[in-house]
């Protein structure tokens, strides 16, 4: 059994939700970029606000969005346990998150164990997402407040 104590669940969840929001935004952006890219126009004019290089900006945003999506999906897939992946999808990345009762019914677990599964999922995701320090330990949280 894993030790699920020692980290602040609410502060950690807030950090993860920032990453989830950026993931959703990037996912939507990737869908809109698929048709608008064209080859950049080269000119001797410097890039200015009125005549900016919109193709270059769009390409930069698309590459950043693709990187964010790949990092997030890689961390979710690195959880290795299908229950944890489903929990991440159900509670954190879904547009309409499942209730505890719905999750317990869908995955045939008791309602008491759903909170332990959520904590384990959050802790594992923070371990596998190496691009940012998401996990907030209890002593760190107390020293900040």
3 state SS of 7? strand
Domains of the chain by residue range: 9-34+53-144
Contact of 79 with 125, CB cutoff 8 Å: yes
Q: What three-state secondary structure class fits 120? A: helix
In our burial notation (b when 16+ CB lie closer than 10 A, e otherwise), range 19-46 reads: bbebbeebeebeeebeeeeeeeeeeeee
Per-residue pLDDT, 1: 39
For residue 36 the two structure tokens come to: 């608008």
Whether this model's pTM surpasses 0.95 = no
pLDDT digit string (tens) for the chain, length 145 residues? 355 567 888 888 889 889 989 998 998 888 877 655 555 566 666 655 555 666 777 788 888 999 999 999 888 888 888 888 888 888 877 777 788 888 889 888 998 888 888 888 888 888 888 887 888 887 755 555 5
């Amino acid at each position: 059994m894993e030790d699920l104590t020692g980290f602040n669940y609410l502060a950690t969840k807030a950090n993860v939700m920032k990453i989830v929001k950026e993931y959703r935004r990037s996912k939507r952006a990737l869908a809109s970029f698929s048709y608008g890219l064209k080859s950049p126009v080269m000119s001797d004019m410097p890039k200015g606000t009125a005549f900016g290089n919109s193709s270059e900006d769009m390409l930069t945003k698309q590459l950043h969005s693709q990187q964010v999506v790949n990092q997030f999906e890689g961390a979710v897939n690195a959880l290795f346990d299908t229950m944890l992946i489903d929990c991440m999808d159900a509670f954190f990345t879904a547009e309409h998150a499942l209730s505890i009762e719905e999750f317990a019914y869908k995955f045939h677990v008791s309602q008491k164990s759903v909170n332990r599964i959520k904590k384990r999922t959050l802790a594992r995701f923070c371990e596998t997402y190496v691009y940012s320090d998401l996990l907030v330990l209890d002593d760190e949280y107390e020293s900040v407040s």
